[in-house]
Chain A
Amino acid sequence: MTAAKRAKAAPINQRAFDLLSLTLAVVLGVHSPHLPWWLSAVLALILGWRWWQRRQRIGRVPRWLKLPLLALLTLGIIAWYGSLFGRAPGTALAVGLLILKLLETETARDTRVGIGFACFALMAALLFDQGLVATIVVALGLLPALATLRALEPAQAPATLQRALLPSLSLLAAALPLTLFAFLLIPRLSSPLWGAPSSDQAVTGLSDSMAPGNFTDLLLDDRPALRVTFDGAPPPPNLRYFRAYVMWNYDGRSWHHRRADLGRTQAPIEVDQSIGYQISLEPTQQHILPTLDIPLEAPAHTQLQPDRELRADKRVDSPISYALHSALRYRLQPTLDAPARQLGLELPAGFNPRTHALAREWRARYGNDDAAIVRAGLSLFHDGGFRYTLSPAPLGRNSVDDFLFSTHEGFCEHYSSAFTVLMRAAGIPARVVTGYQGGYWNKLGNYLLIRNSDAHAWSEVWLAGRGWVRTDPTAAVRPERASMGAAAAAGDQLSWYRTGWLQSARNHWDIVNRWWDQGVVGFNALRQRSLLTPFGIRDTDTRLLSILLVITSLVFMLVGLAWALLRRETRDPLRAALRHLERKLAQRGIVRRRGEGPQHYLSRAARALPTQRAELTRLMNDYLKLRYAHSEPPAEPLHAFQRAVRDFHAAHVVK
């Protein structure tokens, strides 16, 4: 096997190396969104340099260059992440090692190791983003990987680089049906074998406090936050308020959500009108689940908090969906007990003197008419020269005073905060509520898409006899905010891709994402168990799934084998006709010998059957003419020959 060993140690050809480099470039590309930028840049440089270097001269990169690079990579990752373990540093290290592996890749064996590793790295990219586009890009990354393996085989017809990728595409396409069945049938784990990775990635989303500037990131992030389907018609746009956090505590700068440690009873509610709906929530890494206005009951594994917020028992680390009912017209907590009232009026001492003065002036002017004070507050925002902007001027220590009396610009965060402070100063219990408002109604999919940028903050004021009443001061400044959504309110302050037709196209495209999220990403153990419900099998357990998987694999294997065994014999009707004649003659004992030509054979037959000599001689001449006078036998004489063979009946041999 010296020849085989020699072949193993021989350097790979340029095509294989090019394809390997392309594969690694794709791996680097799909990982670059979550790698530190300097690492991506350095690795891309190393990759490009090595590719150029091997074009100049075949050979490994010397060790004195490789080892320092390896040390630098490790140190750099430790310096950046603080550790080598965990999902992000581990992936960064894997991608780095893979690129460095290219430096010493010369033989077929090195290349195969690299490709195996690259396939693994491609899969690892999906741990960070399993969206539809990401998955397709990663799957396309398999094309150069498979093409590299092909290029390692010796003796092939030459092809261009683009054409070298095509066979891999058809291989993947042929593998697709089996892939889909395997995907459906591979039994899912109901609980992980070992600890699922604690996601160390920060997720933008609502949080349990509202500090100045918290919302800015959120309003600029237009990834989907939740999708809602309604039983029946959706509520009108101005009622699409999704509550998440109710915030009571104000320290002069930021608002805080109150923990449910007070042991209070749930706020009572009188319902006028309610609606049923279902929410699919993207991971928030929080416990609180947004609900449409005031939820009436808690779904499984969740609890209703005293302020009628919905809290999940487990942190939302993966997409979940839940169904519930909410009140649209209601009276929430018609009577407010003294401690709650006290809390709803609490303001830190020594802040915002001008605001307090204004509130006292209103109280003096309107007497006991709380509703009139609320109206006065709203009209202040509406007529006071306030401007809606996502980049307001910074505020000082007395932030509400600065906002109300000097800067006059801000967004929902500022308006709701200032309004609530104003109301509390005037002696009306008030609180800040954060959540989402608006959304895009997808007609095709009949669902409401709410993005992170639809995050919103508003106030709830308590009025005697009416309970907690939602008051949206931002809507007073920008009525479009409530009726048309965040994008309309922001005007021209958004980046180019969030305006106009492109945003509309992105909204329409979201239906595909939703389908992917529901059909593929959300296909969990629970959904798998009800896979065969349409066929009357309620519970598809692991055993049944395994059996189905084996059967499906066998069926596909048989189909594949049938294809592999299929011999495309070139149809030759003339030859078939001659065979027919041979069979007829063989019955009379005149068997064509090995290596006997048709002329010799038929002459022999003519001698053996003297009574049919003329007929056989004519058949022989016809055959020879058809076979040798033309490159392709013409149709008419061929049919005549076939007829003659069919009509031929060999007489008994005269011995």
Chain B
Amino acid sequence: MHGLLQSIQRVAEHRLPSLTRYRQPESLPIQLHRRRIYIVPTGFGIAFSVLLLVMLTGALNYANNAALLLTCLLGAASAASMLMTFRSLNGLRLDQIRAHHAIAGQPLQVTLTLASTRARSAIRLDLDHDSTAFTASADVATDVTLTVPTLQRGWQPLPRVRLWSTWPLGLFRAWSWLHPDVSVLVWPQPELAGPPPRGLAEAAHHMRLHQGDELAALRDYRAGDPQRHIAWKASASHDRLLVKDFEQPRDRPQWQLDWRQLTDMDKESRISRLARWLGEAQAQRRSYSLWLPDNSIPNGSGSQHYAHCMSALAELP
């Protein structure tokens, strides 16, 4: 029964493209309204109506008015549940979509933020083959996270999103297709193994104090030190102000990753090698810079820097 419904739905989507499938990508926010919510009985709904018909015939045949009243009550409640199914989607709004980071071939997490003016239950969201159910509370944004499969690096348009619900009785199924005009950036996949970068800068074997992430020591305040570096707690037990000194451990050499170094390779191999180097540099907590044909990223470190470099790689034509 379910398979039959699915195929009917597929035929309908094919035959009525303007209604369902080929809705143009549209910008966020998208609010669901009656023109874009479709509703059909589920397999259980059809079976239940057959049951109601049998009950109706029996009650009429035996001239049993109490049974007829019960059948009418059940039928009217089922009809009312159809309206509730429709209402569970009507007015729902997709506000924004945030994509997480993922490299090609790995599933990418996408968070959809939905808003509703009233509480709703048992709404389901399908994105490609992933499906999840959520409740929405009144006037509070609801975040729903799903994963999409990725194949290759670069901008990947988000597939259509289906919001659907069989609330409250499972007799009817309301659904709506959303095609948000949103693309997600997929990072390139690093090669599995390869040589380390050549022509490294001379390694500095001493620790150099400079601004960095890790607390190294406390020292006396000098004019010009930023106020936020003052160690207030420690200073309270001294007669002088103490300042936190930060350091970046520079036991590893700085890497200058350069597109131009990789001459005898094709573009994708270059990209995946650079991606591997970036990953290694990040794992070894080095600082690194990246030169690309149309983009040059100065020396830096940290996860933001890494994301910046990977995105630049991913965006290469």
Does A2 sit within 8 A of B, measured CB to CB?
yes
CB distance B117 to A150 under 8 Å?
Answer: no
CB distance from B169 to the nearest CB of A (A): 4
A569 lies within 8 A of B123 (CB):
no
CA distance A556 to B82 in the complex (A): 13
Tell me the minimal C-beta distance from B14 to chain A in angstroms: 17
Please judge, given known A-B contacts A150-B169, A175-B79, whether A520 and B69 are in contact too, CB under 8 Å.
yes
Q: Contact mask A196-221 → B, CB, 8 Å, 1/0?
A: 11000000000000000000000000
Q: Does A161 contact B (CB under 8 A)?
A: no
B71 contacts A123, C-beta separation under 8 Å: yes
Taking a contact as CB atoms closer than 8 A, the residue among A139, A180, A186, A523 that contacts B60 in the complex is: A186
For chain B residues 110-138, which have a beta carbon within 8 Å of chain A? 117-119, 121-124, 129-131, 133-135
Chain B residues, Cβ within 8 Å of A193: 57, 60-61
Tell me how far the C-beta of A522 lies from the nearest C-beta in chain B, rounded to whole angstroms: 8
A154–B124 touching, CB < 8 Å: yes
**Of B85-93, B226-234, B292-300, which binds chain A?**
B85-93
Whether B63 lies near A189 (C-beta < 8 A) is yes
- B44 close to chain A: CB less than 8 A: yes
The answer on a CB contact under 8 Å between B170 and A149 is yes
Q: Does B215 contact A (CB under 8 A)?
A: no
- Are B169 and A123 interface neighbours, CB within 8 A? no
SS class, residues of chain A in contact with chain B: helix
Query: Chain A residues near B168 (CB, 8 Å)?
Result: 149-150, 153, 167, 171
Q: Does residue A176 face the partner (Cβ distance < 8 Å to B)?
A: yes
Q: Are the CB atoms of B62 and A127 closer together than 8 Å?
A: yes
* Pair B61/A564 contact, Cβ less than 8 Å: no
- Interface contact A171-B166, CB-CB below 8 Å: no
CB distance from B49 to the nearest CB of A (A): 11
- B47 beta carbon closer than 8 Å to chain A: yes
Within 8 A of B (CB), among A557-576: 557, 560-561, 563-565, 567-570
A112→B44 contact, CB < 8 A = yes
User: At the interface, yes or no: A157 with Cβ under 8 Å from chain B?
Assistant: yes
A4 to B44, CA, bound (A): 15
- Does A186 contact B80, Cβ atoms closer than 8 Å? no
- Is A654 in contact with chain B by the CB < 8 A criterion? no
**Contact (Cβ within 8 A) A183 B72:** yes
Please, how many angstroms separate the alpha-carbon atoms of A567 and B48 in the complex? Answer: 30
Min CB–CB distance B153 → chain A (angstroms): 27
Contact digits for A162-182, partner B, Cβ 8 Å, 1 yes 0 no: 000001000110111011101
Check B64 against A130 for contact (C-beta < 8 Å): yes
**A157 to B136, alpha carbons, bound, how many Å?**
9
Neighbouring A residues of B133 by C-beta, 8 Å? 154-155
Whole-angstrom CA separation of A524 from B58 in the bound complex:
15
Bound-state Cα–Cα, A564 to B80, Å: 10
Q: In the complex the two chains form, what is the Cα distance from A570 to B118 in whole Å?
A: 10
CB of A120 within 8 Å of the partner chain = yes
Q: Is B210 an interface residue (CB 8 A)?
A: no
- Pair B44/A157 contact, Cβ less than 8 Å: no
**Chain B residues, Cβ within 8 Å of A174:** 77, 80
The one of B58, B76, B130, B131 in contact with A178, judged by C-beta atoms closer than 8 angstroms, is: B76
Smallest distance from the beta carbon of B4 to chain A beta carbons, Å? Answer: 13
Measured CB to CB, the closest approach of chain A to B77, in angstroms, equals 4
CB-nearest residue of chain A relative to B59? A123
Interface residues in A1-56 (C-beta closer than 8 Å to B): 1-4, 7-8
CA distance A150 to B85 in the complex (A): 12
Answer whether residue B40 sits at the interface, using C-beta atoms and an 8 A cutoff. no
Q: Contact between B80 and A127 (Cβ–Cβ < 8 Å)? A: no
The verdict on A188 contacting chain B, using a C-beta distance below 8 Å, is yes
B121 contacts A171, CB within 8 Å?
A: no
By the criterion CB–CB under 8 Å, are B170 and A179 in contact?
A: no
Cβ contact within 8 Å between B60 and A130: no
B121 contact set on A, CB distance < 8 A? 153, 155-157
In the bound complex, how far is the Cα of B80 from the Cα of A561, in angstroms?
10
Neighbouring B residues of A119 by C-beta, 8 Å: 51, 55, 74
**From A152, A157, A567, contact of B91 by CB (8 A):** A567
Complex alpha-carbon distance, A174 and B87, angstroms:
15
Nearest-neighbor residue (CB-CB) of B171 within chain A: A149
Q: Which residues of A contact B117 (CB under 8 A)?
A: 567-570
A194 on the interface (CB 8 Å rule)?
Answer: yes
Distance of A270 Cα from B4 Cα, bound (Å): 79
Please report the C-alpha to C-alpha distance between residue A155 and residue B135 in the assembled complex, in whole angstroms.
6
A529 to chain B, nearest CB (A): 14
Q: Are B72 and A179 in contact (CB under 8 A)?
A: yes
Residues of chain B within 8 A (CB-CB) of A565 are 34, 90
Asked whether any CB of chain A lies closer than 8 Å to the CB of B8, the reply is: no
B67: interface (CB < 8 Å): yes
A653 adjacent to chain B (CB < 8 Å): no
Q: How many residues of A contact B (CB 8 A)?
A: 67
Q: How many chain B residues touch the partner (CB < 8 A)?
A: 60
Is B2 interfacial (CB 8 A cutoff)? Answer: yes
Q: How far is the CB of B116 from chain A (nearest CB, A)?
A: 11
B47 touches A130 (CB 8 A): no
Given contacts A171-B168, A520-B66, contact A557 B79 (CB under 8 A): yes
B58 shortest CB reach to chain A, Å: 7
- Given A150-B168, A154-B133, A182 and B72 contact (CB-CB distance below 8 Å): yes
In the bound complex, do residue A563 and residue B66 qualify as a contact, i.e. CB atoms below 8 Å apart?
A: no
On whether the beta carbons of B55 and A196 are closer than 8 Å, the reply is: no
Enumerate chain B residues within 8 angstroms of A570, measured Cβ to Cβ: 117, 139
1/0 per residue, CB under 8 A from A, across B38-58: the answer is 000000100110010011111
* With contact pairs A138-B70, A153-B121 given, residues A196 and B63 touching in the complex (Cβ less than 8 Å): yes
Task: Decide if A142 is an interface residue (CB 8 Å cutoff).
Answer: yes
B6 contacts the other chain (Cβ, under 8 Å)? Answer: yes
Looking at the assembled complex, report how far the CB atom of A317 sits from the nearest CB atom of chain B, in whole angstroms: 10
**Do the beta carbons of A192 and B70 come within 8 Å of each other?**
no
**CB of A146 within 8 A of chain B?**
yes
Q: How far is the CA of A178 from the CA of B69 in the complex (A)?
A: 11
Give every chain B residue within 8 A of A564 (Cβ-Cβ).
83-84, 86-87, 90
A122 at the interface (CB under 8 A from B): yes
CA distance A180 to B73 in the complex (A): 8
Residue in A152, A194, A318 whose beta carbon sits within 8 Å of that of B61 in the complex:
A194
Q: Within 8 Å CB of A610, what residues of B?
A: none
Interfacial chain B residues near A372, Cβ < 8 Å: none
Q: Which residue of B lies closest to A157 (CB)?
A: B135
CB contacts (< 8 Å) of B79 on chain A: these are 175, 178, 556-557, 560
Q: What 1/0 flags go to A97-125 for Cβ under 8 Å of B?
A: 00000000000100010001001101100
CA distance A127 to B60 in the complex (A): 12
> Does A135 count as interface, using CB distance less than 8 angstroms?
yes
Within 8 A of A (CB), among B130-180: 130-131, 133-135, 139, 166-171
Report whether A521 and B74 are in contact in the complex, using a CB–CB cutoff of 8 Å: no
A135 contacts B70, C-beta separation under 8 Å: yes
Measured between beta carbons, the chain A residues less than 8 angstroms from B87 are 564
Q: Does A134 sit within 8 A of B, measured CB to CB?
A: yes
A2 to chain B, nearest CB (A): 7
Find chain A residues with CB under 8 A from B73 CB.
Answer: 139, 142, 172, 175-176, 179
CB distance from A198 to the nearest CB of B (A): 12
- Inter-chain contacts of B61 with A (CB < 8 A): 189, 192-194, 196
CA distance A556 to B133 in the complex (A): 31
- The answer to whether B75 has its CB under 8 Å from any CB of chain A is yes
B96 within 8 A of A: no
Question: Is B65 an interface residue, CB under 8 A from the partner?
Answer: yes
Q: Complex Cα distance A537/B117, Å?
A: 49
- Assembly CA distance A123 to B171 (angstroms): 20
**B81 & A171 in contact (Cβ 8 Å cutoff):** yes
18 further A-B contacts with Cβ under 8 Å, apart from A157-B135, A178-B72, are: A1-B6, A123-B67, A123-B70, A123-B71, A126-B64, A139-B73, A142-B70, A146-B77, A155-B123, A156-B121, A171-B81, A178-B76, A179-B69, A186-B60, A189-B61, A193-B60, A522-B65, A569-B117
7 contacts between A and B (CB under 8 A): A126-B70, A130-B65, A130-B66, A146-B169, A152-B170, A154-B122, A174-B80
Top 10 nearest A-B pairs (CB, nearest first) are: A130-B66, A175-B76, A154-B133, A153-B122, A155-B133, A178-B76, A175-B77, A126-B67, A182-B72, A149-B169
